[in-house]
Structure 1
Amino acid sequence: MSFPTLLWVCLVMGLTAEEVPPAASAGQELIPNGGMEGPYSAGIAAGWVKNCYGDNEAVFAEETQDVHGGRSAQRITCVRFTSGGVQCHSADLAIEKGKPYTIRLWMKGDIESPVYVGLRKHGPPYTSYLKRHVRVKPQWRAYLITGEASDTDPRCGLYLMFAGTGTLLVDDVSVLPGICRQMPASQMPPPEKGNRIYNSGFEAGPEGWTPTDGFTIDRSVAHSGRASARIGPDDFRGLECRPFPVRSGMPYTASLWIKAEKPNTPVTLRLFEWADEGGDRPSSRNELSARLTASTQWSRYRLTGVVWPDMWEHYVLRITPGGTVWIDDVQVEEGELTDYRPRHPMEVGAETPIRWCRVGDRVEVLAHVAIYSSMEKSSPEKPSDGSPQAVPLTYTLEDLWSRPVQQLSRSASGGEPDRATFTLDRPGMYRVRVQAGDSPATGEVWFGVFPHRDRALRPNAFFGTHVRAVVPQPTNTFLASEAMGARWVRLHDFGDFCHWYVVEPEKGRFVWHDAEIQELRARGFMILANLGHPPLWSARPHPKEQDRGRWTAAPPRNMADWENYVFQTVQHYRPHIRHWEVWNEPCWQGFFSGTPEEYAELLKTAYQAIKRADPQAVVIGGCFSFHSPEWTKRVLRQDALRFMDALSYHVYWGPAETEPPAPDQPCYIQQEVRHFLDLMREYGQVKPIYMTEGGVRCPPFASWLPPEGFIRSAPFGSQRGGYRHLTGLDAACGLVRGMVEMLSAGVTTICYYYTGGDRGAMPWFSTMANGYYVLLDYDGRPKPTMMAYSALEQQLDGARPLGKRRKNNLTIHLFAKRTGSLAVVWSDQHRQLSIQGVQVLDLMGNPMPTPTLRPGEPVFVLASHLQPEQLETALK
């Protein structure tokens, strides 16, 4: 992990200061020839070793023109990459367990993948003792990694590795014992002053802060101006600002005014990278942090340190109190502490309680305008007669493509809220931006608009989701799942009402969730229930690390217990649940620690118990992964296809998985489905295929998002698309292309993972890029992918897939409808689509007066009077 530099928490204005002891001093340099000087042999600097592995082709060379220091730098160019790592390491060095070390180096390049930098064991098991993944820029930049070695090794090395094509330049590498985080002042630029935080004094409402329902704007208490943020005992514990840009290696000072309800209230300050590598949960990030004690009087506190971002050069400030506090006048600036100043002389905040609505509904947007005199919050601008200053406001309604749909002009007074109302007559993703005069500081809100749709049960529907049913008061997440057109719900971790540890927590004692199941059915959801997750009492002896709280990944000790649980569950829910999936991802040790053969036996026993309880039930087996082909084969060799009515698999994808790797080659999504079809032909007979869990990453629909941090690759498995930036439009197109490719390849049912938790996504700005295949954002508002899902369901409702065609750089997926036909179409290039007698709808399901196809962006071609073969001919 990384530690803060020059870190203080102190009361200013003459009050007592608490100072953290200085960092340990640096010792002797451990890396010979860290400057990458000559002589070079076979392209590698003296004292360094080429150590590439896998299927790739890399060229090492001496760089003499573009260097950071000295005469030479190490150039590494990967011209072809399929797998493995492009890697080099230093000569031997010795480290001791528990001792602190500092790794510093300069790099630049054009590679998309992160660079692994770490002290590592030379041979198997290649243990990392101190490491970090960092991203390089086209300009030279310093990187710093500090921490304690996890073990002792007298002969390890410093390793540099990346996985992808491109060029990396490395220079001035250093490994020092001790902690040394400062760069020489001569190597750093002068500070750029100014507050980095938008709406830092809360005068513009809640804009720019999360969790959006975790604090209150208090207009009766303030350090200056008219407002502060109150975090009370019933609020979500903490407050976090919108991401702001930083410069690596520069000192920053965060300051704020705090007043506590009770004396000696603890408060934690954290200044840290806004995103990481994009996993399900936040992982290691560069961070400055400290704890302070707040008093019942307004006092100013600060946190100072040097920032060393690893992945992304945007940070957030999080404030976490241990009791009720008021926060005001927050500031983050480069360099030393200065008097508080807002970021802009005029700032606008926008808010609306409407997260989503339906066509024809009205949406009211509330705008707060904050005007500062001489950039001092305590002096609101007023004309000479004392009346509030009138400010021209412009409300702009924008669609998914950021095109203006409607504009309203109004006049508002500084400090007084204004309201504007929009009536939405077309489905889609929308954003309202509010601007005061010509100020660049705009406020904004966004929301989704769904079409009206009936909720009759549809056993043959294509699309489902994962969401928890809550009674008697449904959550926003549950209602949004209904509104977006999901027709199936898979009961797994969200609403795991049928898992063994829930149904039979103690042997012989059964617990049923009839109200939730009936609520799902009443709202039009077909149910696909997952069976598995054994309670601890039922498992065979196993290591403790296989336990997951109340359930375990270990197989059951007694097959009769498993059979009884399955029979009792299916029999009890028979009127409402007719589709049963046996286990979740048994190929992964985290869910099942047994062998493929043991899973096949569980499947056989479950199949017989299910059919005994409900002969008409559909048994879904496998829950396979394309990435575990040998596991799948071993299960199928046990004659497993006889004991399932359908086969299921999981896939998480990115936009690149829906794009062919080469002309006339199937995309990754198609390859996966064909893989399972081929295996079924080899081991028995072809059964229907269900994709019961998978999703695509997507950012929120905000214009102020950091330019980096949302990546285009799949959340799990494939890394196609690498670390290229992902937009909401790109993600929405990838969702539609992916789902349509599955249907045309032979998938019958798709259960998206997932709509969201009870609040939506995780509630912080700093978790927007974690687990972000979720369809709702941090505020419970739809993402572009949710609205694309809705449009796709609306158009394919009642359709029958007829396969995929490719012609003249056009991808065509044909469907038969009850009357006429439909095609989902996208092009490899910009082009006009001109066909008589059809209607062309855009990605959101709205008519296109002039159908212009943009590369990779699906449209819906509706031909109510044409048969599929006629539509195919017209499109070709």
Structure 2
Amino acid sequence: MAGTVWLVASLTLVLFCTTGFAQANLVGNGDFERTAGANQPPDRWASSGAAHVKQQLTRDVGREGKGFSAKLTCTEFGNGTPSSHAMICQAGVVSLQRGKWYRLTFWAKGEGVKGGVVQVAISNTKNWSNTGLSDGVTVRPAWQRFELLFQASQELAAADSRLQFWFNSTGAFWLDDVELLATDMKAQQQPQLATDGRVNFLPNSSFECATAGWGSYSPDLRAGWQGNLYQLVGDLDATTAAHGKHSLRIRLSADALPTFFFDYFDPVRQPARCVLAAHHGWAPVQRGKPYTLSAFLKADKPNVTGVLFIRQAQARPQRKDVPLTTDWQRYVFTFTAETEFAWAAVGLDLAASKLDAATVWVDAVQLEAGAQATPYQPCQPVEVLATPSETDKPLEGPPHIPLDVHAFNNAPVAQTANTTLVVSDFWDAEVVRQTVSLSVPPQGRATKTVDLPFGKYGFYRVQMGQQHSRCAVIKPHSGNDSRFGMNHAYPWDFMLPLAHQAGILWWRDWTVQWRTVQPERGAAFDFREPDAQIDRVLKQSGQVLALFPFPSSAWTSTATPAAVDKIARNEYEKRRLPLAFKPNDEPAFARYVAESVRHYRKRLRAYQVFNESLYTSYALPASAGHTMDDYVRLCRLAYTAIKAEQPDALVVGGMGIWADNKWTRDFVEAGGLKFCDVLDLHVYPKGQPEFYADSLAQLWKRMKERGEAKPIWVTELGCYGDDDPAITPLSAFFGDAAMRRSLHPSEREATEWLVKFAALFFVNGGEKIFLHAGTCGEINGQDVGGVFFEYGGAPRKMLAGVAAMATLLPADAKFDRTEQFAEKVVAHWFRTPTGQVAVAWSTDGETRRLPLPASTQALDLMGNALTGQAMTVTHAPIYLIRK
């Protein structure tokens, strides 16, 4: 049986540092022991919310059965206003210093709170801005301790502060032992290289262990959150070397440069003309001390510009350009550390060279402490590293992965290198342990190919000393449709087939903007830029959902400078907002849509009308006076234009917010479903999937009652997890508030949540899920937002989970029924072309051992068959199949 493998190695040493000292709690009466009297709320605490929210704040027994806790009970709840919440808060007490780190700890529990979701924040009541803490926790009936680390983003006087805990439903919430302390914690970059006792900090610095531990970076790619080079641009060369027998060759040619694509806001199609080889991992350095980067370089012609580059954490990058010759020479760059972490890169700049093509060889790279370069030496006398075995053939037979183990011996005598490979699976259980021994000649290398017999499909981690590798063995997805996609296509073409093989086939594209295809009134339509973005996806057999993001172009917008200035928060929004206002020429808007569909009707089958209308500033912002009537009218114009050009096209419409929101309900009740074939929802969730399923079921029921049961797509879903974060604490640095809300403690938990959410979504009218977003972070940088992959296409656990689900529940699967196997154990059954498939789990999280029904096979979350006549059901989903 064929399988597909991704494996990327990196060097990891995880550290986390905090220091502190005894200090006073910044929260008043955090243990709730003081009160003004019997049946009174605790001192310094109050409830807050709209008048229609019936809530009461009292004291209850403390978490250890003694003392007191706070109890907030909400018996009536109504959604619809910003103050529709049940909240316990403390105003006028907490103060914060900008840039300082704080640790908030508390104990909490809850009953009847929807999804168990409780939000936590410290707000500036002068302007209701966030001050650095905006997070959420999931409470259960039993007491739990929570810890939130954050960095204050502004100076906050106590008089202007509000510490707040709130939820959006009926229910009861208990709180105890709330403590807020300043901390001297320092953010830690990850992974960190071992430097103690080593002159050269960089492993495999002369490429004798192939290219293990190396990737690429391009300083001239100014893509920001969208990413950078995502794999090594270069190859091993055994014909020339400054040290040992191998070097790294980087070849650039103007007609074949690595090209970065992205579809938002200004479409990006940028060739990388400066390409550097960069090592994985951060070197710990001492602020204010000198360090020296050196490397041997040579070029295929004179006057090629070489680059020595230093990237420091949260500091400006530094570089030194040097003219190269055709002979090996050593080049040196000394710098002063401005932060506690740094990494280095070396390569060439084709633009600075004023050349169309050049080749540069790199060898003997050294990063060391001190103001002078010392004679080159490898990181260790004997180095052992691994790389994936290169094969273009599918791997046949039981699931396995071949791995090349390389050893380099810098000593003048032969050495024996011994190492142990330890493989763990999706559940972090050890499944393989194998010792490898290599005889390495003096100042030479040895390689041995090791076949790791996993035996099952799924996610695996291979640990070898300080080096770890991620890999996934999956059944490649077949067919040209699936239930999964991404908002924005990954910038690099090599990433698309990796996603497609896992059943992630759909890509939501933002480039068909009116301003892009018709920048001036009366100008001919020009689709060259959208074509470049869309066609690259189609050539890889992907499917594209073309979004018409904005209702206007600059020349047809009804926006005035005063109206824009009133709601714009920054320069970027000042550029974007005029496009969000309704057009002053609606027939011209209809022509723009029609021309776009006429251009793409032989290539695409789905189009979306606007993004997050009314409730955000993307399209028709209500804050600028736009109404639901405006959206429905323009949606009707777009729908009519699309159907006239492509009658079988799918038109996706709606507010792009979750099912229980007023804007979604208003769209349905306003008759908006008449002008779309698919209803669009967005959600960046926190809490149990069942919470979101309840509101979705109510929406689906209402659509049926109206005779408008249209399929539902989620074109933006947040679900994140990273077991190897590039910085800790991750929650303090990752994404925006919406994305942080959807960050799970681990990749396993994110995967389990995603599969359960998807199953419940498909039960209640859902058809497709687009995760946000297709980004590719730079080497050693944050990369959580790309969801499924780490640098180089290394898989996260979520990829293996989605791959199994996409195979078991293809796009044409239909929901059949929900079966109750036992109390709190449900199975949601779907009909597929090959039989029936169910997704089952325990809704209360308890573990139950149940008899397996006749003619039924149980599969684990990775799609592997489970043996025996009974099934173990827990909070984690499993599959049941009947042929």
Q: C-alpha deviations, 1:444-480, integer Å up to 9, x for none? A: 222223324543x45xx5444445499xxx8122212
- State the match for 1:351 in structure 2: 387
How far off is 1:640 after superposition?
2.3
User: Within the alignment, does 1:257 sit opposite 2:272 as a pair?
Assistant: no
- State the match for 2:688 in structure 1: 657
- State the match for 2:312 in structure 1: 270
- State the match for 2:799 in structure 1: 786
Please report the TM-score for the alignment, with normalisation by the length of structure 1: 0.65
User: Which letter does structure 1 place at the counterpart of 2:710?
Assistant: P
Whole-Å separation in 1 of the counterparts to 2:380 and 2:853: 51
Whole-Å separation in 2 of the counterparts to 1:419 and 1:792: 35
- State the match for 2:711 in structure 1: 689
- State the match for 1:394 in structure 2: 420
- State the match for 1:562 in structure 2: 589
- State the match for 1:5 in structure 2: none
Alignment of 1:628-647 (within 5 A): 629-647=661-679
How far off is 1:707 after superposition?
8.6
User: Which letter does structure 1 place at the counterpart of 2:457?
Assistant: G
Whole-Å separation in 2 of the counterparts to 1:515 and 1:292: 33
Q: C-alpha deviations, 1:701-727, integer Å up to 9, x for none? A: 76x98896379x99876998x876223
Alignment of 1:172-321 (within 5 A): 194=196, 200-203=202-205, 213=231, 242=281, 256-259=291-294, 270-271=312-313, 298=332, 303=337, 317-318=342-343
User: Which letter does structure 2 place at the counterpart of 1:391?
Assistant: A
Distance 1:142 1:264, change over 3 A: farther
User: Which letter does structure 2 place at the counterpart of 1:558?
Assistant: D
User: Which letter does structure 1 place at the counterpart of 2:774?
Assistant: G
Which residue of 441, 455, 470 maps to 1:446?
470
Distance 1:417 1:697, change over 3 A: farther
Distance 1:792 1:41, change over 3 A: closer
Q: C-alpha deviations, 1:770-829, integer Å up to 9, x for none? A: x25x22223222322222222112112343211323331322011223454222222341
Asked whether the 8 Å contact 1:77–1:165 carries over to 2, the reply is yes
- State the match for 2:525 in structure 1: 510
Whole-Å separation in 2 of the counterparts to 1:236 and 1:42: 63
Asked whether the 8 Å contact 1:490–1:527 carries over to 2, the reply is yes
How far off is 1:167 after superposition?
4.1
User: Which letter does structure 2 place at the counterpart of 1:737?
Assistant: K
How far off is 1:126 after superposition?
4.2
Distance 1:582 1:710, change over 3 A: same
Asked whether the 8 Å contact 2:210–2:236 carries over to 1, the reply is no
User: Within the alignment, does 1:813 sit opposite 2:828 as a pair?
Assistant: yes
- State the match for 1:745 in structure 2: 764
Distance 1:318 1:394, change over 3 A: closer
Q: C-alpha deviations, 1:453-510, integer Å up to 9, x for none? A: 543x45xx5444445499xxx81222123212245x24433xx3x4433443444412
- State the match for 1:552 in structure 2: 579
- State the match for 1:22 in structure 2: none
Asked whether the 8 Å contact 2:100–2:152 carries over to 1, the reply is yes
User: Which letter does structure 1 place at the counterpart of 2:609?
Assistant: V
Farther off after superposition, 477-486 or 626-635:
626-635
How far off is 1:675 after superposition?
3.8
Asked whether the 8 Å contact 1:217–1:230 carries over to 2, the reply is yes
Farther off after superposition, 421-430 or 586-595:
421-430
Whole-Å separation in 1 of the counterparts to 2:720 and 2:94: 43
How far off is 1:589 after superposition?
2.6
Corresponding residue SS for 2:820: strand
User: Which letter does structure 2 place at the counterpart of 1:431?
Assistant: Y
How far off is 1:302 after superposition?
5.1
Distance 1:741 1:194, change over 3 A: same
Corresponding residue SS for 2:794: coil
- State the match for 1:366 in structure 2: 404
Asked whether the 8 Å contact 2:660–2:696 carries over to 1, the reply is no
Whole-Å separation in 2 of the counterparts to 1:709 and 1:235: 30
Distance 1:240 1:685, change over 3 A: farther
RMSD: 5.8
Corresponding residue SS for 2:795: coil
- State the match for 1:730 in structure 2: 749
Asked whether the 8 Å contact 1:109–1:139 carries over to 2, the reply is yes
Whole-Å separation in 2 of the counterparts to 1:61 and 1:182: 34
Distance 1:692 1:629, change over 3 A: closer
Note the residue ranges of structure 2 that are not aligned, 5 or more in a row. Answer: 1-22, 37-42, 50-54, 75-84, 109-116, 138-143, 167-172, 187-193, 217-229, 252-271, 298-303, 323-329, 350-361, 371-375
Asked whether the 8 Å contact 1:469–1:516 carries over to 2, the reply is no
Identity %: 16
Corresponding residue SS for 1:366: strand
Q: C-alpha deviations, 1:398-449, integer Å up to 9, x for none? A: 43234455555432256735232538796733436353xxxxx342222223
- State the match for 2:494 in structure 1: 476
- State the match for 1:283 in structure 2: none
User: Which letter does structure 1 place at the counterpart of 2:553?
Assistant: P
Corresponding residue SS for 2:405: strand
Corresponding residue SS for 2:768: strand
User: Within the alignment, does 1:125 sit opposite 2:127 as a pair?
Assistant: yes
Distance 1:359 1:785, change over 3 A: farther
Distance 1:780 1:469, change over 3 A: closer
Whole-Å separation in 2 of the counterparts to 1:302 and 1:269: 12
Which residue of 697, 708, 712 maps to 1:674?
697
How far off is 1:564 after superposition?
1.0
Asked whether the 8 Å contact 2:509–2:544 carries over to 1, the reply is no
Asked whether the 8 Å contact 1:108–1:170 carries over to 2, the reply is yes
Asked whether the 8 Å contact 1:698–1:784 carries over to 2, the reply is no
Corresponding residue SS for 1:555: coil
Distance 1:536 1:42, change over 3 A: same
Corresponding residue SS for 1:740: helix
How far off is 1:609 after superposition?
1.9
Distance 1:694 1:570, change over 3 A: same
Distance 1:32 1:725, change over 3 A: closer
User: Which letter does structure 1 place at the counterpart of 2:127?
Assistant: P
Q: C-alpha deviations, 1:43-65, integer Å up to 9, x for none? A: 69xxx9546645685869999xx
Whole-Å separation in 1 of the counterparts to 2:57 and 2:198: 43
Distance 1:424 1:405, change over 3 A: same
User: Within the alignment, does 1:596 sit opposite 2:628 as a pair?
Assistant: yes
Distance 1:53 1:216, change over 3 A: farther
User: Within the alignment, does 1:610 sit opposite 2:628 as a pair?
Assistant: no
How far off is 1:223 after superposition?
12
Whole-Å separation in 2 of the counterparts to 1:144 and 1:823: 41
How far off is 1:557 after superposition?
1.6
Distance 1:576 1:116, change over 3 A: closer
Whole-Å separation in 1 of the counterparts to 2:458 and 2:365: 34
Asked whether the 8 Å contact 2:650–2:677 carries over to 1, the reply is yes
Whole-Å separation in 1 of the counterparts to 2:816 and 2:155: 59
How far off is 1:670 after superposition?
1.3
- State the match for 2:730 in structure 1: 709
Query: Number of residues paired by the alignment?
Result: 713
User: Within the alignment, does 1:492 sit opposite 2:509 as a pair?
Assistant: yes
User: Which letter does structure 1 place at the counterpart of 2:312?
Assistant: R
Asked whether the 8 Å contact 2:597–2:645 carries over to 1, the reply is yes
Asked whether the 8 Å contact 2:60–2:71 carries over to 1, the reply is no
Note the residue ranges of structure 1 that are not aligned, 5 or more in a row. Answer: 1-30, 64-74, 175-180, 184-191, 272-286, 308-315, 334-339, 372-379, 436-440, 659-666, 865-876
How far off is 1:599 after superposition?
0.6
Q: C-alpha deviations, 1:331-359, integer Å up to 9, x for none? A: 899xxxxxx99999976433337799955
Asked whether the 8 Å contact 2:607–2:652 carries over to 1, the reply is yes
- State the match for 2:874 in structure 1: 855
Asked whether the 8 Å contact 2:608–2:652 carries over to 1, the reply is yes
Q: C-alpha deviations, 1:841-864, integer Å up to 9, x for none? A: 222222222465352222222211
